[in-house]
Amino acid sequence: DADVTQTPRNRITKTGKRIMLECSQTKGHDRMYWYRQDPGLGLRLIYYSFDVKDINKGEISDGYSVSRQAQAKFSLSLESAIPNQTALYFCATSDLRAGEETQYFGPGTRLLVL
């Protein structure tokens, strides 16, 4: 079984709809992240959480919200989807050892907003 899973894997929605992308992990990591990837760009950080009670905005958080329901679950919501939120979304978890952090990614959710 995959260590980091994302549901759904693909989603088509309409402008103005609210949608939720879910992420679960079995790695036992405290830290979780949401990124988006757009064509020709690297991954950009939307939100991150260092534990259940700690949630922080990343560089492109506008239009998004998150919920950390448990150590293993981190959800990303688009309150009112717009076409420029069409992208590939990745969840990640991380392991911090000796001051060095390595992030592990889920398989991604491809979102199309019409």
For residue 15, the minimal CB distance to another protein (Å) is 26
Q: Which of 41, 53, 62, 70 binds another protein (CB under 8 A)?
A: 41
- Rounded Cα–Cα distance for residues 15 and 52 (Å): 30
- Rounded Cα–Cα distance for residues 44 and 28 (Å): 24
**Of 12-20, 60-68, 73-81, 98-106, which segment contacts another protein by CB under 8 A?**
98-106
Strand segments (E) across the chain? 4-7, 10-13, 19-25, 31-37, 43-51, 54-57, 64-70, 73-78, 87-97, 100-105, 109-113
Q: Which of 45, 55, 60, 72 binds another protein (CB under 8 A)?
A: 45
For residue 39, the minimal CB distance to another protein (Å) is 10
Binding positions for another protein, rule: CB under 8 A: 4, 6, 31, 33, 40-45, 48, 50, 90, 92, 94, 99-108
